[in-house]
Amino acid sequence: MDQIERLRWLDRTVVWHAFSQMAEYDGLIIEEAQGCWLTDIEGKSYLDAASSLWCNMFGHRVPEIDQAIQEQLGKVAHVTNLGMSHPTTIRLAERLVEVAGRGLEHVFFAGDGASAVEVAMKMAYQYWRQIPGSHGGRTKYLTLGDAYHGDTLGTVSLGGISRFQKMFEPLLFEVVRGPCPDRSRRPEAMSESEVCEYYLEEYAKLLDAHAGEIVAVVAESCIQGAAGFVMQPRGFLRGLNQLCRERGELLILDEIAVGMGRTGKMFAFEHEEFGGERLSPDFVCLGKGLTGGYLAMSATLTTRCVWEAFLGRREEGKAFLHGHTYGGNPLAAAAGNAVLDLLQGRVGLELIEKRGIEFGKRMEALRGGRGVRDVRSLGMMGGIEFHRDPAENRVGSESNRICKKVLNDGVWLRPLGDVIPVLPPVVLEDFEALFRVLASALDL
């Protein structure tokens, strides 16, 4: 067996890959990367059009991020977050608070997105038990239909995608689940604002029916990623924020996929702040793009009000007894600081917003493609949804087929059910390389 064959064999038989049927596994093995391009062990190059699963924001081997990590390596790679800290991590917390504003003044670091959501869930739960009043009945989370917040049992409980949940059903806790606020699936006669009203009424009813029982309302901001890049009607998130404020409920926004500039704003919920109104989430969860796709780090931002509920003398037992070994890791924080430098400097949100408009136009042009049911995008984040092949009627038959086809032409995309997410690094300049291949695969 030659070296390459051996690697492929080990990768299929020893490495257990995420979300993969290992009996049929056949993945790329990447040797190195530069900018938006990945090169495999045989020297073949692929455009990384899924940003290494939604997290690589500025391409690979970004000089600023590389340098920040190297400089940090010259100091220390890791110090624990339990009773210790590091200037790089402290600086990142300060800067995240600065860019978040809106009363989000405290940052809890963890290693991945699911953990950031778990942190918010547990903080919210404990919060109610440490403020005056009897809130013991608050044991449920209100979540959106088709939600996805990660793969730990807590976040799977919040999730609403049955193919991820079914197997573990007996282990999951009960949640209150509303409908999936999908602006593209609406009766012909209803406008987007009418459909928004409809969903908000449904959520108002659920909140009223479960008054005093809800720990927190949990929602992905604007786009429900794993649901298939489902876009909420304009005004929905702001309306949901309003419902929470009126009723004194806590709101957790999951910005893991959409935050850190991906949609042309620092946070996707800013798209809902039209007319000068500001949203006021109690928790914002960040992950994925936070380190530009370099290192595992996530953050849960919260308000002074939540923070203060946890203060007291040690014997009162109000501390948050939760932590992750690598929470606040300085190497990852160095990457995070470099990402903020890029978003506030060389790359800049204005440029991403401008590119996003061009990207959206290119995406729209795929609408007439073979088998295409819908095309949606926001900023540098898009999805192509396919009709299900009536002969096969199997989830993802068409999206899988197209992904295989474009791979042959040097574009790496990964299907998600009947949708192909398209989200190249936000710095991709050569749209032609991507959209020519996509158009051809869709017979355009």
Ligand X SMILES: *Cc1c(COP(=O)(O)O)cnc(C)c1O
Binding positions for ligand X, rule: CB under 6 A: 112-114, 117, 148-150, 220, 225-226, 254, 256-257, 287-288
DSSP 173-218: PP-EE-----SSS--TT--HHHHHHHHHHHHHHHHHHTTTTEEEEE
Task: Pick between residue 287 and residue 292 the one whose CB is nearest to ligand X.
Answer: 287
CA angle 149, 221, 438 (to 5 degrees): 85
Task: Pick between residue 93 and residue 226 the one whose CB is nearest to ligand X.
Answer: 226
Q: Tokens 């926001």 appear where?
A: 378
DSSP 240-301: HHHHHHHHT--EEEE-TTTTTTTTSSSSGGGGG-GGG-----SEEEE-GGGGTTSS--EEEE
Task: Pick between residue 207 and residue 416 the one whose CB is nearest to ligand X.
Answer: 416
First vs last C-alpha separation in the chain: 42
Task: Pick between residue 105 and residue 151 the one whose CB is nearest to ligand X.
Answer: 151
Q: How far is the CB of 406 from ligand X (least distance, A)?
A: 22
Encoded amino acid at 47, one letter: L
Task: Pick between residue 287 and residue 327 the one whose CB is nearest to ligand X.
Answer: 287
Strand partners, 422: 382
Across 336-347, b (16+ Cβ under 10 Å) vs e yields: bbbbbebbeeeb
Q: How far is the CB of 234 from ligand X (least distance, A)?
A: 19
Q: How far is the CB of 292 from ligand X (least distance, A)?
A: 14
Pairing of strands 251-254, 214-220: parallel
- Of the candidates 416, 417, 409, the residue with the CA atom closest to the CA atom of residue 434: 409
Task: Pick between residue 55 and residue 69 the one whose CB is nearest to ligand X.
Answer: 55
Q: How far is the CB of 180 from ligand X (least distance, A)?
A: 14
Q: How far is the CB of 306 from ligand X (least distance, A)?
A: 20
Q: How far is the CB of 115 from ligand X (least distance, A)?
A: 7
199 burial type by CB count under 10 A (0-12 exposed, 13-18 middle, 19+ buried): buried
Q: Which residue is nearest to ligand X (CB)?
A: 113
Q: Which helix H or strand E contains 224, and what residues bound it?
A: strand 223-224
Task: Pick between residue 33 and residue 230 the one whose CB is nearest to ligand X.
Answer: 230
**Residue 17 neighbours by CB distance under 10 Å:** 11
Q: How far is the CB of 102 from ligand X (least distance, A)?
A: 20
